[in-house]
Structure 1
């Protein structure tokens, strides 16, 4: 078993604010700087669509893409594990890649949603909150509706227009989000510190207490905040993250046993069982895709 070194003392004790000169704004600028027209993906279905009364959109293992939903009418609820939030008309929901969630329309009426899809960027996506929710975002509706049409067009300067529209949309969402974290969840600097610490010790067995020290919070309070932020307890989230890392190394030149050992699994059966629970298929089937 890999020994986890004692985490460094946090730079700041307030998880909602980073050290001077960095933090949310710098990370957002870096993410926006890598935003290109090529990352805009065609919608799976054109235009707004209706989610029938009592029906749901379930993404239990998280998506590989950024998913955005503008609630046009009807309202719905979003679940991210233990958290359940009501989305009124005009609410814009942005879900980061790898975040499990479900959207459910109320039993009494349907919900009209306008979706958008954006390819992920593993290098910078981890600096973003798992879920961004902006209420009363009607001023951004024209962008949500115009982006798919621009993507499908063959008019001059299409790439430049797409990038410009994406920058306006996402910079507006980030600005609204950075004006204040949602109460009851981990702040952006705490999320960054925790995710980086786990990634640096991904083959070990970091404990919730280790992550709490990184975030500068007591273990009990941290665990409650973590569940509200990520939708699962720390131990389960660490397993998900470790398996997702391992999946990127499953190719035909490396044995499954070698990958399991690289990520701290002495027991290949345990690796296979956790891999299937997270990814939905066995390591063998995943590698053969």
Structure 2
């Protein structure tokens, strides 16, 4: 799988990360989310795309948009070949440009698709300096924010106790957490918490906890931390447990992810 997937990072541009996958048949994701905003281009074939409670098939030429924190998957269709590229952008950097969560899951705009592919090529071009890449990123995302409709304020409201439960899990994700601890913290029974949390966020509280631990591990690995140390810091029982969860959520091993330039 490693030979079909490439991560790109630049220490001078810590707010952006890119990934390219040449053969998506070898990549399969469990439901997961990102703290960052994600945007991708399907460059060949087709795949299924699920975001929240919305489901669609996407094909070559489609751009997919994934708001921060939204549980999603994008997986092959019965072993059919497909390939894609992705950009992950830190939320504070985007918000400084005026970002609000987008309403659209995807776009079939060919100019947008071409601009995204061109931006990806600029980022991976070793002949270009970081200042040039930074300028290209600012132009692309400033235009994207102007052109793609944002979600209407107040849409998709979540009850305060469930929001509090999600926030409690995020804050304590590296600690041993039981359902009883979460329910007690927000005043919900464990049975209701499981049902309502899954219905609202697309993951059970335990699934959300694992997702947050993987996100924590991902951030630490980007800093160059050792995998064994990260596993314990993030609240996993051992390195093997981190390995399994990381592959399910990011379709890459911690070692492959950490070794990206």
TM-score bin, normalised by smaller chain: 0.5 to 0.7
Query: Structure 2: which 5+ residue stretches go unaligned?
Result: 1-12, 95-100, 123-127
Match of 1:148 among 108, 117, 139: 117
- Distance across 2 between alignment mates of 1:251 and 1:136: 35
Preserved contact between residue 243 and residue 253 of structure 2 (Cα < 8 Å):
yes
The verdict on how the C-alpha distance between 1:63 and 1:116 changes in structure 2, with shifts beyond 3 A counting, is farther
Preserved contact between residue 76 and residue 88 of structure 1 (Cα < 8 Å):
yes
- Distance across 2 between alignment mates of 1:123 and 1:208: 31
Task: Look up the SS of the partner of 1:175 in the other structure.
Answer: coil
Q: CA deviation at 1:85?
A: 1.7
Query: Aligned pair 1:101/2:68, yes or no?
Result: no
Q: CA deviation at 1:145?
A: 1.7
Greater relative CO, 1 or 2 (CA 8 Å, sep 6+): 1
Match of 1:187 among 143, 158, 163: 158
Preserved contact between residue 42 and residue 148 of structure 1 (Cα < 8 Å):
no
Q: CA deviation at 1:202?
A: 3.0
Q: CA deviation at 1:175?
A: 0.7
Aligned pairs, how many? 224
Between 1:235-244 and 1:172-181, the stretch displaced more is: 172-181
Per the alignment, residue 169 of structure 1 pairs with 144
Kindly report which structure 2 residues correspond to 1:207-286, keeping only aligned pairs within 5 A, or say none. 207-208=178-179, 210-211=181-182, 219-228=190-199, 230-242=201-213, 244-245=215-216, 248=220, 251=225, 256=229, 260=232, 270-280=237-247
* TM-score using structure 2 length: 0.52
The verdict on how the C-alpha distance between 1:44 and 1:226 changes in structure 2, with shifts beyond 3 A counting, is same
Kindly report which structure 2 residues correspond to 1:44-123, keeping only aligned pairs within 5 A, or say none. 57-60=27-30, 67-69=38-40, 76-79=47-50, 85-87=55-57, 92-94=64-66, 96=68, 101-105=73-77, 115-121=84-90
- Distance across 2 between alignment mates of 1:162 and 1:124: 11
- Distance across 2 between alignment mates of 1:39 and 1:235: 28
- Distance across 2 between alignment mates of 1:167 and 1:83: 28
Q: CA deviation at 1:86?
A: 2.6
Q: CA deviation at 1:188?
A: 9.6
- Distance across 2 between alignment mates of 1:74 and 1:174: 27
Match of 2:104 among 129, 134, 138: 134
Query: Structure 1: which 5+ residue stretches go unaligned?
Result: 1-35, 126-130
- Distance across 1 between alignment mates of 2:139 and 2:105: 23
The verdict on how the C-alpha distance between 1:134 and 1:177 changes in structure 2, with shifts beyond 3 A counting, is farther
Task: Look up the SS of the partner of 2:75 in the other structure.
Answer: strand
* TM-score using structure 1 length: 0.49
- Distance across 2 between alignment mates of 1:287 and 1:150: 21
